[in-house]
């Protein structure tokens, strides 16, 4: 299975949008930093036809230290989440 890296994504955007590599790099970086900054503020990011990025709260849960086997408590935290949109789901099928 192949992987699309950030560098590859910049090249694709450059070709499809007829932009220079620098302009495409700036556009991709602006998009990613905007999504990251919105999630930091606890906001949802909805990209119609693609999906929704959101912050999910993970509850405190029991766990085990794999080295010693001792029981530990894993602290609650926030984690980024992604829910694909209907159009994306259909395209992947």
pLDDT for 2 beyond 90: no
Contacts of 58 (CB under 8 A, 6+ apart): 76, 77, 78, 79
The pLDDT value recorded for residue 51 is: 95
pLDDT tens-digit readout, 52-86: 999 999 999 999 999 999 999 999 999 999 999 99
Q: Which strand (E) or helix (H) includes residue 67?
A: none
The pLDDT value recorded for residue 1 is: 56
Q: Report the greatest alpha carbon distance in the chain.
A: 57
Q: What three-state secondary structure class fits 16?
A: helix
Q: What three-state secondary structure class fits 31?
A: helix
pLDDT tens-digit readout, 6-56: 999 999 999 999 999 999 999 999 999 999 999 999 999 999 999 999 999
What domains sit in the chain, N to C, each tagged with a CATH number? 1-41 (no CATH), 44-93 (4.10.520.10)
DSSP 74: E
């Amino acid at each position: 299975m192949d992987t699309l890296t950030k560098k590859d994504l910049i090249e694709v955007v450059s070709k499809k949008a007829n932009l220079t590599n620098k302009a495409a790099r700036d556009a991709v970086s602006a998009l990613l930093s905007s999504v990251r900054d919105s999630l930091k503020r606890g906001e949802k990011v909805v990209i119609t036809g693609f999906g929704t990025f959101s912050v999910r709260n993970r509850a405190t849960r029991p766990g085990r230290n794999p080295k010693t086997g001792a029981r530990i408590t894993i602290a609650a935290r926030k984690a980024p989440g992604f829910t694909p949109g209907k159009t994306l789901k259909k395209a992947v099928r």
